[in-house]
Amino acid sequence: MIQIIEKSMKKWYYILVKNKLYRLEKKMIDKEEIKKVSDTIEIVKSNIEEYEILYSNLLKGNADEQYIQNMSKEYSNKLKNLNKAISVPYFARIDFKENKQNNIQKIYIGKTGIFNNDYEVVVTDWRAPISSIYYDGQLGKVEYECPDGIIEGDLSKKRVYTIENSILKDYQDIDITTNDEFLQECLTENSESRLKNIISTIQSEQNKIIRAKMSKPLIVQGVAGSGKTTVALHRIAYLVYTYEKEFKPEEFLIIAPNKFFLNYISNVLPDLGVDYVKQQTFEEFMLENIDANFKINPINEELSNIVNQNGETDLIKKSANFKSSLRYKELIDDFINEFLQNSLPKEDFKISGIVIFNNDEVIDMFMNYFKNNSINESKKMLTAVLQKRVSNIANELIDKLSEQRKNKLDNIDKDLSEDKIKEIRLNIFKETEYEMQQLFKGGKKLVIDYLKNFKIEKVLQVYKKIINNQILFEKYVESELYEYILRTFKENIKNKKVEYEDLAPLFYIQNKFWGNINNIKLEHIVIDEAQDLGEFQFYNFKELVKPNMSMTILGDIAQGIYSYKGTNNWQKLNQNVFNNQASIEVLKESYRTSMEIMNEANTVINKFTDNENIILAQPIERHGDEVQHWKVDSENNKIIKICEIIKKQLEVGHINIAIITKDFNESIELHKEITNYGVNAELISENLDKYTGGVIVIPSYLSKGLEFDSVIISDSNKYSEDILETKLLYVACTRAMHTLDIISK
């Protein structure tokens, strides 16, 4: 043990000595680096002037409106990014010599690309292929991939800069101070009320995910604190940059767990120079794209009922599980097949007793259209074909009528008076005109009558018929579960409500029967906290991004607090939904918490690692305060202890402090109590759109994905040893960056 300590001390002494020498050396070249910052800022200012002129001329010009709109957006974004670059033009530098080249390139890397008047690169965008060397390469032989192939060379320097408000504050050569030390400095900072970008500290395993091609689905199992969310957002920024000529930012979608979380991440993409990417909750997206008027029972009300054993807990879980599964999709498919069998005509299509299309041909036509279209659209296409055929036949008959009319007109007795001839001619025209009109009317009516049984109802009406179809359900679930599903649906529908789990089937029905009501076009979908979604939900998203199924799915099985209906096995998800075409990556290292906190959290979840597909987090070597366990004997003493801890944490400079409770009802009571003791705290609910930091009281299920300087867990004894409640406690523990206090009675 003593030898280990001595070895560790020697290591840190060695680093300190090297750092001291490095600082002395750096003083001699500061002027050069300061000049580089200043020169780059001047180039940025020049770029801004150029784009302002281009923007002004564009608005004054007479170009096409759509062109003006597109270019206006482009110039506006460029100006926004350049204005940000005045403050921080770049954050890193690499010295790279490409093989077969004589010169070493000094490549400065920033949030946005910067060019001089000769269109030479002054600062390289962090998303450019060569920038990957900064994230992945170690000094020595390196390579990177670009459109022209693999470029090989030698990396002789990696330098990271701290530039604030256009002033160079500091810089470090990563080969001297080590990447770990620089990362440590970043991790010891206080948390913020908003998620921030990590472009200067992206780790190699994170960079691999960010730069993965979008040609197939990507599933990321990331432990708590591994940076899943941040990686997801940086991946979006990378894809928008890389495929800017092929796709628009509006064709990318981020699905997040709740509005509070969306607010937390809202500034990251704009900070990375990316706008117009849609960010929604699963619920918001579904409601926007289902043509029906209803409300949704709060998802966390369901969770609360399960945790607190309120009502028919087992049936609640079974119902949610079934509705989130592909078995429920199969049941709906059975209904659709039955609907088509009953709706499609069973006789030949005839005109005047003549068979125009036999019944098999009609059905084949419809089913062929239905492969790529909704039932409604396929019906329209079939109707159009039948009407066109009727129209063609009608035209043939009209030609015959026209010939008959001509013959009648030619055979009028010319010896008759002029008035009589006019009268006869008029009657002939009237007769033929009437017959022609009847042909058209009769043709249209013929098609309408032929498809009279093919009536498509609205989404909710269809869903009601499915739920009420007991015979259909008997193939899939036991009678007790069906009766529960039927009963709860009827109760909800009276109040114009549905369950959260009804959204996936309703969306599926919407698209099968009526199609995409908003004509949404998506090229890539990012789903965060994906472990909380079931296979039916993933299937719906997959259908929106065919043929490549381009999706990035990020989650952590250990944080699956909705495991009774969500995803517990990424391999099964890949197999059942993506036909084993997805790649699966694992982020094992946790950067958020100290080793002491992460070890405590791992102790909480460890007992389920063998049978729950849970991967334990591996904390990076960052030590902090020991986790504090407090035993109190009353509710009042609990409140006093919480207030004491808050005071202490504020005094040491911890700004963002979370008191995490098991559920929202407990949060309400606790918030009331600590407020009475003079603590200025905010109560967090799932409907909260804005979080500004400070002291908060928050239920465990809403804290997922967030991080705080200090976390206080209230009443840890209320969490049972059940897997679901254990995961809730694990989530609560892993929110802490620097200190964790656990209170029990």
Q: Which amino acid is at 69?
A: Q
**For residue 56, what are its two tokens?**
């002004």
pLDDT tens digits, 199-252: 888 889 999 999 999 999 999 999 999 999 999 999 999 999 999 889 999 999
User: Does residue 3 register a pLDDT over 50?
Assistant: no
Let me know how long the chain is: 745
As a whole number of angstroms, the distance between CA 532 and CA 549 comes to: 20
Instruction: Name the phi and psi angles at 150, rounded to 5.
Output: -90, 125
Question: What is the reported pLDDT for 193?
Answer: 56
In 3D space, the residue among 604, 650, 623 whose CA is nearest the CA of residue 744 turns out to be 604
Q: Looking at residues 269-285, what average pLDDT do you find?
A: 92
User: Which one, of 573, 528, 94, 83, lies nearest residue 324 by Cα?
Assistant: 573
Q: Integer distance in angstroms from the first to the last C-alpha of the chain?
A: 37
Structure confidence at residue 440 (pLDDT): 58
Find residue 255's DSSP bridge partners.
280, 527
The partner residues of 254 in beta bridges, in order of sequence, read 279, 526
Q: Give 345-362 pLDDT, tens digit per residue.
A: 999 987 766 677 899 999
DSSP state for residue 662 in the 8-state scheme: S
Question: What does the alpha-carbon distance between residue 584 and residue 569 come to, in Å, rounded to a whole number?
Answer: 11
Q: Which pLDDT belongs to residue 14? A: 43
- Which amino acid is located at 744 in the chain? S
**Average pLDDT for residues 539-547, to the nearest whole number?**
95
Rounded CA separation 236/606 (Å) = 33
In which region does residue 81 sit, left (phi positive, over 0), alpha (psi from -120 to 50) or beta (all else)?
A: alpha
Whole-number pLDDT of residue 266: 85
pLDDT band at 450 (very low <50, low <70, confident <90, very high): confident
CA angle (118 as vertex; 115, 120 as ends), nearest 5: 45
Coil vs helix vs strand at 94: strand
pLDDT, tens only, 290-299: 999 999 988 8
Alpha carbons 73 and 52: distance in angstroms, whole number: 13
Give tens-digit pLDDT for 291-346: 999 999 888 888 888 887 777 889 999 999 999 999 999 999 999 999 999 999 99
Which residue has better confidence, 568 or 687? 568
Q: pTM of this prediction?
A: 0.86
Give a three-class secondary structure readout of 131-199: HHHHHHCCCEEEEEEECCEEEEEEEEEEEEEEEECCEEEEEEEHHHHCHHHHHHHHHCCCCCCCCCCCC
* Edge-first strand listing for the sheet containing 657-661: 628-631, 736-744, 708-713, 657-661, 695-699, 682-683
Q: What is the helix, strand, coil percentage profile of the chain, to 5?
A: 55, 15, 30
> Tell me, what's the pLDDT at 434?
59
Measure the CA–CA gap between 648 and 665, rounded to whole angstroms.
26
